[in-house]
Amino acid sequence: MAKRKPLIAGNWKMYKTGPQAAELTSRLKSLVPDIMDVDVMVAPPFTALEVVAGILKGSVIHLGGQDLFWEVEGAYTGEISAPMLEAAGCNYVIIGHSERRQYFGETNATVNRKIQAALPGGLIPVVCIGESEAERESNETFSVVQKQLEEGLEGITSDEIQKVTVAYEPVWAIGTGKTATTDQAQEVHQFIRGWMETAYGNSVANDVRILYGGSVKPENIGDLMTMADIDGALVGGASLDADSFAAIVRLSINAATD
């Protein structure tokens, strides 16, 4: 079985004005000018998408949105559609991040509608799933993850799922400095791939990329990437520093090819 090409994605969250995003992007572009063994994506705030897209033009770094709405257009004040993201230069979009679920009422049902909206136009959804600390302590990790997969991916066909990337982010490890051990992360990634195999078959399951997210940094990416079912990372805080993010990219290549 061929190894899946890793993806290192940076979620900038609500950080960086346009000028700040331009500075960070320019620096990052200079640090990863010709990376071919790993896909790299950054997701700036919506207000910085076009300026970042202009700087990334011709580079190996892809652009992503942090969210989208499921309608193409309409009276939905404050929302962004898939065509708007595509027009701004995006080819990825993050869907269902735990912060969207926690603060803005995102549910498995709305995640599903957003995935369905992203796929027709060619956006690659990075679909976030993961359990809270209380759910892990109650031994509910697998049941929570399974429900998120079943409901979030309802109606997604075998052809469509191959265009989807899954990001496992234990909520208790996001922005807390805590990181799941490599064994904890691999255990859940293996469960996700097993669910994919049951739902879509072995061949499809082997092709789907599953990322780990949750306080990823240069110090732990190498160990994470040695795990059989971890295909990259969705990086938060460390992606706001070009040197740290570039180091994660380089170290992920080294670990994946060892």
Q: What is the pLDDT of residue 212?
A: 96
Q: Which residues pair with 232 in a beta bridge?
A: 7
**Residue 213, both tokens:** 């997210």
Low-confidence ranges of the chain (pLDDT < 70): 1-2, 256-258
Q: What is the pLDDT of residue 1?
A: 40
For tokens 């997969």, the residue is: 149
43-46 own/partner pairs: CB under 8 Å, 24+ apart: 43/9, 43/10, 43/11, 43/12, 43/92, 43/93, 43/94, 44/12, 44/16, 45/12, 45/13, 45/14, 45/15, 45/16, 45/21, 46/80
Q: Where are the domains of the chain?
A: 7-257
State the catalytic residue, choosing from 99, 131, 135, 169.
Answer: 169
Residue 205 DSSP SS3: helix
Is 197 considered catalytic here? no
**Residue 128, both tokens:** 């976030």
Q: What is the pLDDT of residue 257?
A: 59
Is 169 considered catalytic here? yes
State the catalytic residue, choosing from 62, 97, 99, 189.
Answer: 97
Q: What is the pLDDT of residue 144?
A: 97
Q: Which residues pair with 157 in a beta bridge?
A: none
Q: What is the DSSP letter of 215?
A: S
Q: What is the pLDDT of residue 106?
A: 97
Residue-wise pLDDT tens digits, 53-91: 999 999 999 999 999 999 999 999 999 999 999 999 999
Q: Which CATH superfamily is domain 7-257 in?
A: Aldolase class I (3.20.20.70)
**pTM for this prediction:** 0.96
Q: What is the pLDDT of residue 180?
A: 83
Q: What is the pLDDT of residue 258?
A: 58
